[in-house]
Amino acid sequence: MQDTFEMREIYCQSLIEAAKTNKNIVVVEADLMNCIKTGPFKKEFPDRFFNVGIAEANMVGISAGLATCGKIPFCSSFGTFATRRCFDQVFISVAYSKQNVKIVGTDPGICAEINGGTHMPLEDMGIMRGIPQMLCVEPTDSVMLKALMPQIIDYKGATYIRLQRKKAETVYSEGEKFDLFKAKKIASGKDATIIASGIMVSKAVEAREELKNQGYDVGILNVFTWKPIDEQAIIECANESGAIVVAENHNVHNGLYSAVSEVIVANKPVPMESVAVMDEFGEVGKMPYLSKKFHLTKEDIVEKTLKAIKRK
Partner 1 sequence: MNSEKLQVLQSKALDIRKLTVEMIGRLGVGHIGGALSIVDLLTVLYYDIANVDPKNPQNPDRDRIVLSKGHAGPALYSVLADKGYFPIEEIKTLNQPGTKLPSHCDMNKTIGIDMTAGSLGQGLSCAIGMALAAKIDKKDYKVFCIMGDGESQEGQVWEALMYAGNMGLDNLVIFIDNNGMQIDGMTKDINSIEPLDEKGNAFNLHTQRINGHDFEAIENAINTALDTKGKCSLIVMDTVKGYGVDWVASKGYGCHSMSISEEQWRNFCQKERD
Contact residues for partner 1 (CB under 8 A)? 26, 47-48, 50, 52-53, 55, 57-58, 60-71, 73, 88-89, 91-93, 96-98
What is the rounded CA–CA span in Å between residue 92 and residue 69?
Answer: 17
Cβ closest to partner 1, residue 50 vs residue 216:
50
Q: How far is CA 271 from CA 117, 210, 241, 304, in A?
A: 32, 21, 10, 11
User: Cβ 38 to partner 1, closest distance in Å?
Assistant: 16
To partner 1, the closest distance from the beta carbon of 104 in angstroms equals 17
Instruction: Pick the closer one to partner 1 by CB: 42 or 166.
Output: 42
- Kindly give the residue spans of alpha helices, DSSP state H, lying in 22-123: 33-36, 39-44, 56-68, 79-83, 87-88
Nearer to partner 1, 89 or 274 (CB): 89
Query: Quick one: 90 or 247, whose CB is closer to partner 1?
Result: 90
Minimum CB separation of residue 127 from partner 1 in Å reads 16
Helix (H, G, I), strand (E, B) or coil at 248: strand
Nearer to partner 1, 1 or 69 (CB): 69
Phi, psi (deg, nearest 5) at residue 82: -80, -10
3 state SS of 161:
strand
* In the complex, minimum distance from the CB of residue 35 to partner 1, in angstroms, rounded to a whole number: 20
Q: What does residue 165 show for φ and ψ, rounded to 5 degrees?
A: -85, -40
Query: Going by DSSP bridges, is the β-strand pair 49-51/272-277 parallel, antiparallel, or unpaired?
Result: unpaired
Q: Cα–Cα distance between 204 and 217 in angstroms, integer?
A: 13
Cβ at position 285, least distance to partner 1 in Å: 32
Give the SS3 label for residue 72.
strand
Q: Of the candidates 254, 129, 144, which has an alpha carbon nearest to the alpha carbon of residue 199? A: 144
Q: How far is the CB of 22 from partner 1 (least distance, A)?
A: 13
User: How far apart are alpha carbons 110 and 136 in whole angstroms?
Assistant: 19
Indicate the residue among 65 and 150 with the shorter CB distance to partner 1. 65
Using the minimum distance from each CB to partner 1, give the nearer residue, 99 or 251: 99
What is the nearest approach in angstroms of partner 1 to the Cβ of residue 55?
Answer: 4
